[in-house]
Amino acid sequence: MRGWWQDLTGLVLPAECAGCGRARTVLCRECRTALTGAAPRRVRPVPEPAGLPAVHAAAAYAAGVRAALLAHKERGALLLAGPLGEALAGAVRRGLRDAGAEGGAGGGGARAVLIVPVPSARTAVRARGHDPTRRIALAAARELRRGGTAARVVTVLRQRRIVADQSGLDSRQRLANLSGALEAVPGGGRLLAGGAVVLVDDLMTTGASLAEAARAVRAALVAEAGAETGAEAVRGAGGKWTRTCGDPMTAVYTGEIREGTGERTARASGGRAVRTPRAPRAPERAEAGRRCGPVCAAVVAAPSDSFAISRN
């Protein structure tokens, strides 16, 4: 109730710029330029957590951008979701371009872009009256679709246990706090396997949240790949089959089939030799996780010093 009431009052009552306080505007021209005026760039936290995908940010977390994010998240300034989503969409586009995964644009059978927001704690959502990251993600998806990119939000991650408040924790403490904290909802791997996965959040500081979200996405996709392998239909001799999971992962069965390769020869009714693929072993599951993980990650803002780091 709090959310829609604040949204309504923001439409009918005089507002002030969330960034600088200028009267009668939700976000003034100067603050909007600080948010969306520069080209999104690659950002890296120090230290960079293991498993963190490439992250692009639209703006530095300072001055008006910081004030606008806090107003949207903590004070329920819901009309800011539009400009914040526009900024996030720009970061998503840049990430896809740098990853060579712009296939979601222009249709023609290209894969969709699946925007996966990092989930907020249920207690935080209840206290705020809305889920700020999901709201911004929805606005970003609309902006991407207006530009011709087949994008949709897929809310498949959830917290599997209670985590401590992240404020005041350093990078190592945040990693320990979030380790194993997220998981995909039942059936989430099936949804994630249908396109190019982009993780999104409103802010990146240490990268711990995005790294944990990436781990949960990879785990869901690996589990889905294993389930598909186990359920693969039996084909006749000389047949071949392919499967895609996030990024293309192809397996082709041809020629002689041997037990040593992990494939089995069986006899179907009528005496015809058929093949049944086995479930992937641990090294293959790890490879599936790498190849089927998120394409990239995108955030509205990141600390200024994370923009200055350039590493090969």
Domain coordinates of the chain in residue numbers?
Answer: 2-225+291-307, 232-288
Which pLDDT does position 165 carry in this prediction?
67
User: Residue 141: CB partners within 8 Å, gap ≥ 6?
Assistant: 85, 89, 115, 151, 152, 153
What is residue 274's three-state secondary structure?
strand
- Residue 310 is classified by DSSP as -
User: Residue 148: CB partners within 8 Å, gap ≥ 6?
Assistant: 105, 106, 107
Which pLDDT does position 102 carry in this prediction?
67
Question: Where is pLDDT greater, at 83 or 229?
Answer: 83
Which pLDDT does position 88 carry in this prediction?
98
**Is-contact 76 9, C-beta < 8 A?**
no
Indicate whether this model's pTM tops 0.85: no
- 264-295: per-residue pLDDT in tens? 444 444 555 444 444 445 444 444 444 567 89
Which pLDDT does position 285 carry in this prediction?
44
Residue 226: HSE in the Cβ half-sphere, 13 Å Cα cutoff: 16
- 91-114: per-residue pLDDT in tens? 999 999 999 876 554 444 467 999
